[in-house]
Amino acid sequence: MASVSMEYGLILAGILFTLGLAGVLVRRNLLFMLLSIEIMLNAAGLAFVVAGARWAQPDGQVIFLFILTLAAAEVSVGLALILQFYRHVKTLDADAADEMRG
Amino acid sequence: MLSLLWLIPALPFAGFTILALAGFRLSRRGVALIGVGSVGLSAFLTLVLGGSFLLSPPAGQAFTQTLWSWIDVAGFRPEIAFRLDALSLIMILVVTFVGFLIHLYSADFMIDEEGYSRFFAYMNLFVGAMLTLVLADNLLLLYLGWEGVGLCSYLLIGFWYREPENGRAARKAFIVTRVGDAAMAVGLFLLFAQLGTLQIQELMQRAPAQWAVDSGAAIAAAALLLGGAVGKSAQLPLQTWLPDAMAGPSPVSALIHAATMVTAGVYLIARTNVLFSLAPSVMSAVAIVGALTLLLAGFSALTQRDIKRVLAYSTISQIGYMFLALGVGAWSAAIFHFMTHAFFKALLFLGAGTIIIRLHHEHDMFKMGGLRREMPTTFWTFLIGSASLAAIPLLTAGFYSKDQILWSAWSSSAGSPWLWAAGLVGALLTSLYTFRMVFLTFYGEREPLVQELSPVPRLGVRVRLPLVVLAVLSVVGGLVDLPRTLGNLPLLSDFLHSVLPAANMAAEGVGTELLFQVIAGAVSLGGVYLAYLLILRRRQVVEGWTASPLGSALHRLWFAGWGFDWLYDTLFVRPYVWIARTNRRDVVDLFYEGLARLAEVLHGLLSRTQTGRVRWYAAGIALGAVVVIALAVLL
């Protein structure tokens, strides 16, 4: 089986993670921030799968399954929070909710 | 019969309790009945007990009544116990009798006052505390009475508390005497630590057995007790409070600041005479303190304008005589002078009180004058009291007691010609300032204030009776102890010998003693004549003296009581106030306040980062993770 070398896989995972992080930091819309977090999670999952393939261990794919369920739970909680947030402040701008300013 | 002893202090205390709890509900009549009656009953009981004591003396010339034990901790077991012996009998006789007469006088004198029941409550409390003091069988109970009379003195000096000046005088008296009391408390600790008891009789037995004459412990204990006595009896260097204490009503000055409380120091020293005999150097200190005080106070009394301040300085000076007598070992002479002084000084204060009330609270003697015809009863009794104070020979009680002191100062083994000379100069000063007061007040031109006086009904019987009785006592009081040149009937000294040892007199001839009496008498009469010349005949001579630079400087110095107030103000009060003011913001706290301020600043800086924006927090977490990973990789 022709395999992609691990470095490429990890670099891709790194790029995806960076994109996701940049999305969280730059985007102000909560929905897009949630999407960016999903990308970051998937980047992490990709890194596990690549590492599992490299050492021919099933653990990497097992961890990915965990990340998948985690992501599902996170999205459901996140969406519920966003819904409440929208009702409360009538916007999806994350910076509008700075009531806890120190 | 003697077992009723406890009632003597208990009755005034009961009077105090009733007046304090229910005084505001009682009519003035009721208040007077309880206030005067309790002390009167106490005086009557004292008389009965005294008679029974004299007729059938108890074993050992003393009767001790233990009521209950006060504290019982690890061998320290002071008891509430009263001891009646010759010394305490004389003391309670004077305290209850003079106290009763003064209460009787106050019932009329204070009738218009707002705090009528408060006044009698305090006065009763005072008499009770004073009786506890003199009857106490152990030094701790004595100390309780000692502080009790101090408290009453404070309360009564500040009786007219609406005037801030009176409150200041009361605080001054309290604080200055407290200096002496602190010394006395330390003395009691020392006695207990060294001798293991505070019971007076045991102390007086153990002290000579355990301490050598002139040993350090004996000197320290005697000196500390002397400190307490000096504070309470307004002797040098703690005499400054007494002239200011005249802010209180006149009966208070008569009872507390002339007849009884201020002589508590004399009583204390006489009571612990064994201790003082073990410390001859402290004995000489007592004599020197007495001699200096009587001179300084005598000079100050010469210059006062306020009639009550003259009497206050005179009290300081007369107690100086008592200290002089104690210092040369003439214990019974001191108690004799205490007794006669209580009679004539109480009389003078009460007389001064009637004058002051009649002249609408005018204290200045220079605004009086010619009162002789306006107030005959006051004049005659006041004259008798003054004669006794000035020790007019043969007739007055003051002569017999003061002469005994002067004679002891010369002939006792602890005496010296210097002490005698100081006493003699003091006697001249005494008759000079006393008759200056009499001539200024009763003789001479009638000042405008006196001319305006409307004729008022004569003094009430409750005012006149104490004046007359005290006047009689000021004359016949001296007959209880006649020197060997004049009848040789030393009843009082003989009576006191069971408690107080006889003075160690050098064997001097009767002729010498007679000579000294003639000298003392001549000096006292000379003082009166001098006062007559200077006040009534040649007033301009005195005015010439006070106008000269030296004279006016001396006058100011004496008028201000030798500047002791100024000295203490500069040495203690002002630095203390300065420190207090500086420390108002709590110097020590500055460090902790700085610490708190620093934490607050840092907190302020950190709280800036709490923007409440979730993206910033995410960025912070990312940055932190990068830093941690970078460190992990690089290191």
Q: Chain B interface residues facing chain A, Cβ-Cβ under 8 Å?
A: 606-615, 618-619, 622
| pLDDT of B507 | 66
- Cα–Cα distance measured from residue B339 to residue B328, given in angstroms and rounded to the nearest whole number: 19
Confidence band, pLDDT 50/70/90 cuts, at residue B531: confident
Chain A residue whose CA is closest to B607: A102
Residue B290 scores a pLDDT above 50: yes
| pLDDT of B543 | 80
Confidence band, pLDDT 50/70/90 cuts, at residue B415: confident
Contact B613/A94, CB-based, under 8 Å?
yes
Confidence band, pLDDT 50/70/90 cuts, at residue A1: very low
Give the closest of A25, A99, A100 to B618, CB-based. Answer: A25
| pLDDT of A66 | 94
Contact A101/B611, CB-based, under 8 Å?
yes
Residue B440 scores a pLDDT above 90: no
Q: What is the DSSP letter of B363?
A: -
Contact A95/B613, CB-based, under 8 Å?
yes
Instruction: Report the pLDDT averaged over residues B293-304.
Output: 89
Residues whose CB falls within 8 Å of the CB of residue B13, separated by 6 or more in sequence, listed in order: B124, B125, B128
| pLDDT of B24 | 82
| pLDDT of B458 | 63
* Residue keyed to tokens 């990890």: A10
Task: Give A40-79 pLDDT, tens digit per residue.
Answer: 999 999 999 999 988 888 999 999 999 999 999 999 999 9
| pLDDT of B539 | 77
For residue B606, list chain A residues with Cβ-Cβ distance below 8 A. 102
In this structure, which amino acid lies at residue B160?
W
Peptide bond into B549 cis (omega under 30): no
Q: What is the dihedral of CA B118, B123, B129, B132, to 10 degrees?
A: -130
- Cα–Cα distance measured from residue B271 to residue B286, given in angstroms and rounded to the nearest whole number: 14
Instruction: Report the pLDDT averaged over residues B84-106.
Output: 90
Contact status of A28 with chain B (Cβ, < 8 Å): yes
* H/E segment holding residue B489: strand B489-490
* HEC-encoded secondary structure of B65-94: EEEEECCCECCECCEEEEEEEHHHHHHHHH
| pLDDT of A2 | 54
Residue B199 scores a pLDDT above 90: no
- Cα–Cα distance measured from residue B434 to residue B429, given in angstroms and rounded to the nearest whole number: 8
* H/E segment holding residue B555: helix B549-559
- Cα–Cα distance measured from residue B12 to residue B17, given in angstroms and rounded to the nearest whole number: 9
**Cβ-based neighbour number of residue A70 at 10 Å:** 12
- Mean of per-residue pLDDT scores for chain B: 87
Give the closest of B606, B615, B618 to A95, CB-based. Answer: B615
Residue B457 scores a pLDDT above 70: no
- Helix then strand then coil, in percent of chain B rounded to 5, is 75, 5, 20
| pLDDT of B348 | 92
Give the closest of B609, B612, B622 to A98, CB-based. Answer: B612
**Residue B92 or B358, more confident:** B92
pLDDT above 90 coverage of chain A, percent: 61
Contact status of A31 with chain B (Cβ, < 8 Å): no
Task: Give B481-525 pLDDT, tens digit per residue.
Answer: 887 777 777 777 778 877 777 777 766 677 788 888 888 889 889
**Cβ-based neighbour number of residue B76 at 10 Å:** 13
Residues whose CB falls within 8 Å of the CB of residue B507, separated by 6 or more in sequence, listed in order: none
Give the closest of B608, B614, B619 to A102, CB-based. Answer: B608
User: Which phi and psi angles does B24 have, rounded to 5°?
Assistant: -75, -15
CA distance A27 to chain B (A): 9
CB environment B559-595: b (16+ within 10 A), e (fewer):
bebbebbeebeeeeeeeeeeeeeeeeeeeeeeeeeee
Residue B545 scores a pLDDT above 50: yes
pLDDT above 90 coverage of chain B, percent: 27
- ipTM confidence: 0.85
Give the closest of B606, B607, B618 to A24, CB-based. Answer: B618
Task: Give B55-89 pLDDT, tens digit per residue.
Answer: 888 877 888 888 888 888 877 888 888 988 888 99
Asked if B38 and B124 touch (Cβ cutoff 8 Å), the reply is: yes
pLDDT above 70 coverage of chain B, percent: 98
- Cα–Cα distance measured from residue B531 to residue B440, given in angstroms and rounded to the nearest whole number: 10
Contact A28/B615, CB-based, under 8 Å?
yes
Asked if B372 and B445 touch (Cβ cutoff 8 Å), the reply is: no
| pLDDT of B74 | 79
